[in-house]
Structure 1
């Protein structure tokens, strides 16, 4: 790769992977305040404030409405689309007292037990749709 155009083209190709959201610098910029909100939940007093009034607490952050709604809906896939990083979003899981396994299971549409069994067995099969551009 020789210049910015090439790296931008390369990074854009990562969006072609079905069911995957690669955390690029563009996503990091987009999700900065969403991820900062998540990190604030590391402090017990912030978790208490969030639980006491989720919308009011979210409104203290300069997040987009789509980011706030993703949090309120606990729609973690939407939060990823809005620039959330799964490791930061885990602070929400913890605040809700659910495991990473339970939360990620909701993102796949699988029961936590089924997701866990799939992962123990080696994860998703590499056979199948490898590109959004190619028919399955």
Structure 2
């Protein structure tokens, strides 16, 4: 695969509605978001975070958009900025949320509706499959 082919191939992922494929570019972009999130695995870091979230974020090489998304718990924005859902789980776990509760906030659905959808087999593959083509 040529250099140009790989870029076309990766760009096609951005055409999938509601999906953010975790590419190398996203991993690079979100490196510090994910490092921050992983820091919450240590009890002493969780305590510092809970005591003063803004002050704790100052110790990380995050831009203002990243900090704002973390403070707002805007997980969809964090995914756009390169956050990895498995690392972001450290944030919502620190907040006392289950994976189910946190992910339901990303869909605009209630926890109960999201859980029912997932227990019924997940989202239907029918519907908009391409942003640019609208189908």
**What range is the shorter-chain TM-score in?**
over 0.9
Question: Which residue is equivalent to 1:27?
Answer: 26
Q: How does 1:1-136 map to 2 (within 5 A)?
A: 2-136=1-135
How big is the alpha-carbon RMSD for the aligned residues of Structure 1 and Structure 2? 0.7
Structure 2 distance, partners of 1:32, 1:116, is: 30
Unaligned 5+ segments in structure 1 are none
Deviation at 1:58, TM superposition (A): 0.5
- The alignment of Structure 1 onto Structure 2 pairs a total of residues equal to 135
Deviation at 1:135, TM superposition (A): 2.4
Structure 1 distance, partners of 2:43, 2:34, is: 17
- 1:65-122 C-alpha deviation (Å, 9 max, x unpaired): 1111111000000100111000000000110000000000000000011101101101
Structure 1 distance, partners of 2:125, 2:98, is: 26
Deviation at 1:50, TM superposition (A): 0.4
TM-score (norm: length of structure 1):
0.97
Structure 2 distance, partners of 1:52, 1:98, is: 18
TM-score (norm: length of structure 2):
0.98
